[in-house]
Chains A and B, each alone.
Chain A
Amino acid sequence: MSNLDINEVLAALQAHCGESIQLIGEDSQAALLVMPERMLEVLDILKTNELYQFNMLRNLTAVDYLEYMEIVYHLYSLPLRHAITIKVRCTMEDSTVPSVTKIWPSANFQEREIYDLLGVDFTDHPDLRRILMPEEFTEHPLRKAYNFVANTGEKR
């Protein structure tokens, strides 16, 4: 894996988008935290800029941290062979982020899965339906607040 200095990426992106990008984590866990308003712009630069060429969205998932929801994008560049992690945070009450399906069509099923299990709304997604749980299901089971007992009627 060729070395991509995340601080250089950060500086270059900050020149473009200002303070809406921060560095969080250290060493192998370093990631860029991007504000939801600017994320499409940032991700588009990461995909199209010759220096980065992140043409693969390897993995897309979300984590419920109780105070906020974090959506995690693991990007990989096949031509340049480097990887980067992008994180986007949204509130639990209004968990809405823009869909990246226009940039990486491979996000389609993964965003549907996150919508289904964690209840994140992806705006401009072409087909945002439940994918694993039954259609009539109303809750989002991977959220920490999900109540097993209420749904099974049994005590665990």
Chain B
Amino acid sequence: MVKTETYTLNMGPQHPSTHGVLQVVLELDGELVIQAIPHMGYLHRGIEKLAESRTYTQFIPYTDRLDYVSSMGNNWGYCLAVEKLMGITVPERAEYLRIIMTELNRMASHLIFMGSLAIDLGASTGMMFGFRARERILDLFDMTCGARQTYNYIRFGGVSVDIPPQFIPELKRFLADFPAMLAEYHELLTGNEILYHRLKGTGVITAERALEIGLTGPALRASGVDYDIRKIEPYGIYDRFDFEVPLGKVGDCWDRYIGRMEEMKQSASIVAQALEQMPEGEVMTKIPKVIKPPIGDVYHSIENPRGELGFYIVSDGSTKPYRIHVRRPSFINLQVLNETCQGLLIGDVVAVLATLDSLMGEVDC
């Protein structure tokens, strides 16, 4: 009689498919996962504490460093919260620019998701394809605000600078090319039988459980729950656009993958509509030189590529925030990892991690 026992295996913090410095302690029975306990904090910089010694304006660049592949959304979420507290309204053109930038950033973020999912499952060219299209978007950001990743573009009362003249033609070219690019990715990845069998039926999260455990974003919608803040509590001017929220049925890795691919299409459509409607005019309203929100607290959340990104700000009436708390979707989404991985094979942990799409810059804050 052979005696068997379980063993523990450290996955990360230095592991390419944990997308940063996440450590997952796996308890394994042969190849079967019994427990997958996430350990975070390797990238903890104490951004919430740093905020207390910075002025409100100085904190905007810190938000770039939370979810660093969708920084536009972070800028916007923070600015919206402060604007709500101070009662600032934003010029029309700036509203459109915010939408265009954030939706482009959502596409860039989902392209990284697609590329990293492919490379995690062994298709290394997938990464190149994802980054090829993303590069076009980053060029657009670069020509507008001079940065490719940490933009500091959306400010209180508008955006920092208007788009340059070559922006719109370049964006139109990109939007014209994008459907063909997406079709190519679908052909290469979605039509790939290996990818299909790796993802289909793997890591199922039911709708009830997803809601209970606090999943948000594409991961929640893949389970069939219709919760998209752009639709249910439209912020900015999202109520002016016609777009659909793709929902999954089963809540497996496949649904989480397809949902994000579909979202890119919807984002492209929002950008096209915004381009058509966008008026000329100011991009920044008159705001006080020194930002001093009235005493009080505010919570505002937006739909980021990874889920509900919320900012809770407490103001004591001075120039520095008394307390800022960031509700980070990646952090809360990781709660589901352990129970989803139980009973799967060790190779499937990578698929679950990739489709949850947690980003460590945001998890550790």
Contact = CB atoms under 8 A, between A and B. Distances in A.
A85 B44 contact: no
B301 A58 contact: yes
Given A59-B310, A142-B323, 9 more contacts: A25-B296, A59-B327, A78-B225, A106-B332, A106-B335, A108-B335, A109-B332, A131-B41, A142-B48
A58 B365 CA distance: 18
B140 interface: no
Contacts of A131: 40-41
A115 to B, nearest CB: 13
B41 A58 contact: no
Contact of A57 (B44, B214, B297, B323): B214
Interface string A118-156: 000000000000111110000001100010000000000
Contacts of A142: 48-49, 323
Interface string A1-24: 100000000000000000000000
Contacts of B41: 130-134
A81 interface: yes
Interface residues of B, number: 34
B207 to A, nearest CB: 11
Interface residues of A, number: 34
Contacts of B212: 104-106
A117 interface: yes
A100 B332 CA distance: 15
Contacts of A49: none
A63 interface: yes
A96 interface: no
Interface of A: 1, 25, 28-29, 55-59, 61, 63-64, 72, 74, 78, 81, 85, 104-110, 113, 117, 130-134, 141-142, 146
B227 A64 contact: no
A133 B213 CA distance: 23
A131 to B, nearest CB: 7
B310 A74 contact: yes
Contact of B308 (A58, A64, A81, A85): A58
B335 A109 contact: yes
B174 interface: no
B274 interface: no
9 contacts: A29-B296, A57-B214, A59-B325, A106-B213, A113-B331, A131-B40, A131-B41, A132-B364, A141-B46
A74 B312 contact: yes
